[in-house]
């Protein structure tokens, strides 16, 4: 039976379209929440990497200030800190990959 000149099949299809739009809107909200979580975690990791770099530099300075440091010991310690710095750079570089620049 027509309702305001529309057939029930047309109204049923409109109801389906509306339901699909509501479902898509809900999905978009969930995806945006996921993106917000990712951005938050990236910022947190950036802070952690910065803290690690500060800690490593402080440790390096304290070791260098030891009075009984021999040149051989200093060379070995320098190798360790060179490796740590390379790892920190690799972590920082990995975090930049596929991260859009801040406008």
| pLDDT tens profile 54-103 | 777 788 788 877 788 788 888 888 888 888 878 777 777 777 776 666 65
- Quickly count: other Cβ atoms within 10 Å of residue 26's Cβ: 10
Within 8 A by CB and 6+ apart from 8, the residues are 1, 2
Between residues 53 and 78, which one has the greater pLDDT? 78
Percentage of the chain surpassing pLDDT 90?
Answer: 0
Nearest-angstrom CA–CA distance, 86 and 17: 55
The pLDDT of residue 1 is 45
Other beta carbons within 10 angstroms of residue 86's beta carbon come to: 10
Distance, in Å, from the CA atom of 7 to the CA atom of 17, rounded to the nearest integer, reads: 16
Phi-psi domain of 99 (left: phi exceeds 0; alpha: psi -120 through 50; beta: other): beta
């Amino acid at each position: 039976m027509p309702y305001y000149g529309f057939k029930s099949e047309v109204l049923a299809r409109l109801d389906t379209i509306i339901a699909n739009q509501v479902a898509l809107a809900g999905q978009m909200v969930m995806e945006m929440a996921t993106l917000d979580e990712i951005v938050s975690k990236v910022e947190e990791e950036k802070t952690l990497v910065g803290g690690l770099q500060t800690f490593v530099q402080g440790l390096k300075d304290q070791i260098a200030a030891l009075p009984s440091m021999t040149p051989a010991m200093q060379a070995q310690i320098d190798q360790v800190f060179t490796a740590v710095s390379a790892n920190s750079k690799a972590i920082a570089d990995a975090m930049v990959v596929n991260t859009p620049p801040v406008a």
